[in-house]
Structure 1
Amino acid sequence: MAITMGLAEAKANFSRVTSEVNRTGKPVTILKNNKPWVVIAPVQHDAVDVAIDFMDEYSDVFSELAK
C-alpha cells in the first residue's frame, strides 16, 4: 500500500516522516494540490557504496581542490 500525505502535513512533521521512511524502508509520496509532487525514499545502500568508492578513488583530487 502506497503512503501519501499532503505537503503541509509533511512540512509540519518532516523529521517524523523521514524517520518513519528510514525505519520502514517504505517511500512516502507528498501531494501538492492533491497531485503527486515528490517522493521521500530511503537511500539505497548500493548508491552509498558507489559514492564512497568514488570518493576513495578520487581522494587525491578532492584534497587538491580543498586547498
Structure 2
Amino acid sequence: MPAVTMGLAEAKNNFSKVTAEVNRTGRPVTVLKNNRPWVVIQPAAGAAQTDAVDVAVDFMDEYADVFRELAK
C-alpha cells in the first residue's frame, strides 16, 4: 500500500476531508512542506473505530431536540 502524502496547501484547504479520510481508513497522511515531510495526520492513539451503532446513538443525542419537535 503506497504512502499517502500531500502538500501543506492542499491539506489546509481540505483539512476536514483529509481528517475524515484518515479516520475512516486508519491510514496516516504525511503533509509535505517544501517537498519534505512536515507533519503526519493519523488517527488518535487508542481511539477505537466507531461502529454504526455508536454513530447512530451520537446522531440521536445530537439532534434529540429536533426529534422531539418532529414528534409533536
TM-score range, shorter chain: 0.5 to 0.7
Q: Which runs of 5+ in 1 are unaligned?
A: 47-67
When you count helix as a share of all residues, which structure comes out higher?
1
TM superposition outliers: structure 1 runs of 4+ over 4 Å: none
What SS class does the counterpart of residue 45 from structure 1 fall into?
A: coil
User: What TM-score do you get using the length of structure 1 for normalisation?
Assistant: 0.66
2:3, 2:44 → 1: CA distance?
Answer: 18
Please name the residue that 2:9 is paired with. Answer: 8
1:4, 1:20 → 2: CA distance?
Answer: 13
Equivalent pairs, count = 46
Please name the residue that 1:28 is paired with. Answer: 29
1:13, 1:4 → 2: CA distance?
Answer: 13
Identical aligned residues as a percent: 72
What SS class does the counterpart of residue 23 from structure 1 fall into?
A: helix
2:44, 2:10 → 1: CA distance?
Answer: 22
User: What TM-score do you get using the length of structure 2 for normalisation?
Assistant: 0.61
What SS class does the counterpart of residue 26 from structure 1 fall into?
A: coil
- Alignment RMSD (CA, Å): 1.1
